[in-house]
Chain A
Amino acid sequence: MISNTSREDTGDRPIPPTSVPKRRRERINRRVIPGFGLTMGFTLTYLTLLVLIPLSAVFIRTSGMGWDDFWKAISSPQVVSAYKVTFGVSFYAALTNAFFGFIVAWVLTRYQFPGRKLVDALVDLPFALPTAVAGIALTALYAPNGWLGQFLYPLGLETAYSTTGIFIALTFIGLPFVVRTLQPVIEVFDREVEEAGASLGASRLRVFFTIIVPALIPAMLTGFALAFARAIGEYGSVIFISGNQPMKTEIVPLVIVKFLENYNYPQATAVACVMLIASFVLLLIVNILQRWTESIGQARS
């Protein structure tokens, strides 16, 4: 560790690190590698034109509405029922993913079995498969006359064109977030700690619940939050399987699209504003959770 830092410093600058204050060293550093002005200018222009200005359009448009109109727009019955569906189903889908995602991540990192590599690669499928394709494929499976639907419907499970259908689609797209967040954490988990627990006489179950689970909770929450954040914005995979009945199985993104199709731009913008704020809050939570996960990882090593 000590050799690393000294190496870094001598490699960094010919200037002795102790004699120059940190701030100045940074400025010198900036000058030695060329291209700061060019790349910084290009990056900032690109981000401003394509991300900041367009996103600010939502807020500026909304701020021109007036509080009463805004409140009316975001609290109409159709919109409120869509919030309930979106946030409620996303929550259950993310919870399901946190549970099964943990089992999948555990099995993939800790156990050896034939086909493990293939299964591991398959976990990424929801990231790579376009959402529209996922939507029609899931509908083909879970519709009343679908492959699985024909067996599930007689049992009273209405898997498509209901909130269950939305749940299936959101579970599909959220799964990799939990698995891919947990896998590296399980991988670097120090097995000596487990061994210590076992040698002190704890049963495997006790080791699992008192040593392993507490250490994995931050990563699990991160995965949950990522899956939830993805789920509330999801559109393509849901609209095919949800049936889109007003007040029943409409999700918020679909409501926004419907407002746009009716040229009801103010209401579409107002609802989008609410969803953007929700997304930003989630992004913040994810960042905090990730710092927490990191700090646990660093404390361990």
Chain B
Amino acid sequence: MAAILSRVRHDTYPKTDNAITEPRLIRWLLILVAISFLGLFLFMPLVAVFVEAFKQGTKLYFATFEDKYAVDAILLTLKIAAISVPLNLVFGLAAAWVITKFSYRGKSLLVTVLDLPFAVSPVIAGLIFVLIFSTTHGWLAEPLKEYNIRIIFALPGIALATVFITLPFIARELVPVMQAQGKDEEFAALTLGAGGWRTFFTVTLPNVKWGLFYGVILCNARAMGEFGAVAVVSGNIKGRTSTLPLYIETLYNEYNGVAAFTLASILSLLALLTLVLKNFVDWRVAKSRNNQDLNLSLFTFPPFTRPLAALPHEHPCPQHP
């Protein structure tokens, strides 16, 4: 309520009130500084990828896709994403449900553990699985050798490392959305006699669909682009355990710049698509929510810059018009 009032009053302020803004010259100077900084550090690298990829014409650009190893790398990357995204999707839904729908002790500890993969260096994320599953130095070396199971330097290891790195993404996007939604609608469904699963699929899931969608595209982008963790566990065997980012490194180190940047341009397109979808979801959510008293922006890109542990357990109910 208070927030609505204050927002209304805000909007009645003229946008360029001289007393509470900077002189025009300073404004333009600051805009210039901001844009040059972003241009130098963000925009130019992005442009460089595409220019370097097409440096020797479209023919050579498309010739890269005839490379058998490049196709293998793309297929492996798709496979890894197809394994890790669904796993973390199921986990994300379960974790968000248990974090937002119940009260119990130790919840903030649970959230902290959920955040750990964000805090760990990708290289260490790979190392931990080597320490367990390596057939020479791992904890499980003996049984793995006995049954001839390969995890490190093979697909399962890459999948494990990727699942670890992308584990928090979907849960982190779902928690604030479910929290803002509250529990009233679930209570209503249950009172009317719906079972748990039916309540989940017909009430909860439709309510959080945009958060879920956003979590999935984020998780997918990271799964396909992960480099450090995968580099440690994969062994980078061409055509077998070389994912797309690893194969880009190989090509780059072989001084095959055009091919490296060609494959990099695919991943850049994926990144751009992720940004476009992110802004689309933001826009959809803003549209469906503009009457409600939810001051917090539900979608900020890095899930963990949002202070989740510090969020109040119960949100004020959205004000329905």
Nearest-neighbor residue (CB-CB) of A42 within chain B: B94
Chain A residue contacts of B44, Cβ below 8 A: 141, 147-148
| A226 beta carbon closer than 8 Å to chain B | yes
Provide the B76-118 mask, 1 if CB < 8 A to any CB of A, else 0: 0000000000000011001101100111100000101111110
B184 to chain A, nearest CB (A): 5
Query: Within 8 Å CB of A35, what residues of B?
Result: 97, 101, 196, 200
Complex Cα distance, B321 from A104, in Å, reads: 35
The residue in chain B whose Cβ has the minimal distance to the Cβ of A133 is: B264
Output the least CB separation between B272 and chain A (Å): 8
* A58 and B40 alpha carbons, distance in the complex (Å): 39
Q: Looking across the interface, which residue of chain B has its beta carbon closest to that of A46?
A: B91
B211 interface hit (Cβ, 8 Å): no
Chain A residues with CB under 8 Å of B102's CB are 29-30, 33, 36, 40
Size band of the B side of the interface? Answer: 35 or more
CB of A213 closer than 8 Å to a CB of B: no
Q: With A and B bound together, what is the CA distance between A61 and B225 in angstroms?
A: 30
B147 at interface (Cβ–Cβ under 8 A)?
no
Q: Establish whether residues A290 and B307, one from each chain, have CB atoms under 8 Å apart when the complex forms.
A: yes
Most chain B CB within a 10 A radius of its CB, from A47, A138, A275: A47
Residues in B neighbouring A51, C-beta threshold 8 A = 113, 116-117, 164, 167
B 132-147 binary contact with A (CB < 8 Å = 1; else 0): 1010110100000000
Choice from A42, A127, A168 contacting B301 with Cβ under 8 Å? A127
Inter-subunit contact B19/A198 (CB<8 Å):
yes
Q: Is the interface of B mostly helix, strand, loop or mixed?
A: helix
Contact status B127-A113, CB under 8 Å: no
Q: Closest residue to B7 on the A side, CB-wise? A: A188
Task: Check B248 against A276 for contact (C-beta < 8 Å).
Answer: no
- Are B101 and A236 within 8 A (Cβ)? no
- From B317, which residue of chain A is reached at the shortest CB distance? A7
Interface members, chain A 26-47 (any B CB < 8 Å): 26, 29-30, 32-36, 38-40, 42-43, 46-47
Q: A11-B317, A26-B103, A121-B275 are in contact. Are A136 and B128 (CB under 8 A)?
A: no
Cβ contact within 8 Å between B103 and A29: yes
Which residues on the B side are within 8 Å of A69 (C-beta)?
none
Q: Looking at the complex, which one of B40, B95, B123 makes contact with A39 (CB distance below 8 Å)?
A: B95
Most chain A Cβ neighbours within 10 Å, of B124, B184, B232: B124
B22-42 interface mask toward A, CB cutoff 8 Å, 1 = contact, 0 = none? 110001001101110110111
Check if A43 sits within 8 Å of B94, measured CB to CB. Answer: yes
Give CA–CA (A43, B110) in the complex, Å: 9
Chain A interface: which size bin? 35 or more
B119 x A138 contact (CB < 8 A): no
Q: Does B122 contact A (CB under 8 A)?
A: yes
| CB-based contact A33/B225 at 8 Å | no
- A83 CB contacts on chain B under 8 angstroms: none
CA distance A181 to B21 in the complex (A): 22
CA distance A260 to B124 in the complex (A): 11
Map CB proximity to A onto B51-66 as digits: 1 under 8 Å, 0 otherwise: 0100000000000000
A42-B90, A54-B131, A57-B139 known; 7 new pairs, CB 8 Å cut-off, are A39-B98, A52-B113, A137-B48, A204-B22, A233-B119, A269-B127, A269-B131
Instruction: List 15 A–B pairs whose Cβ atoms lie within 8 Å, in order of A's numbering.
Output: A30-B103, A32-B187, A34-B195, A51-B117, A57-B131, A100-B34, A104-B38, A121-B275, A131-B227, A133-B245, A147-B48, A171-B41, A184-B297, A226-B302, A234-B121
Give 7 nearest A-B pairs by CB, closest first.
Answer: A130-B225, A233-B121, A34-B196, A290-B307, A236-B227, A235-B228, A137-B45
Instruction: Show the binding face of A for B, using Cβ within 8 Å.
Output: 1, 3-4, 7-8, 11-12, 26, 29-30, 32-36, 38-40, 42-43, 46-47, 50-55, 57-58, 61, 100, 103-104, 106-108, 110-113, 117, 119, 121-134, 136-138, 140-141, 147-148, 168, 171-172, 175-177, 180-181, 183-184, 188, 190-191, 194-195, 198-199, 204, 207, 222-223, 226, 229, 232-236, 240, 253-254, 256-257, 260, 263, 265, 268-269, 272, 275-276, 279-280, 282-283, 287, 290-291, 293-294, 301
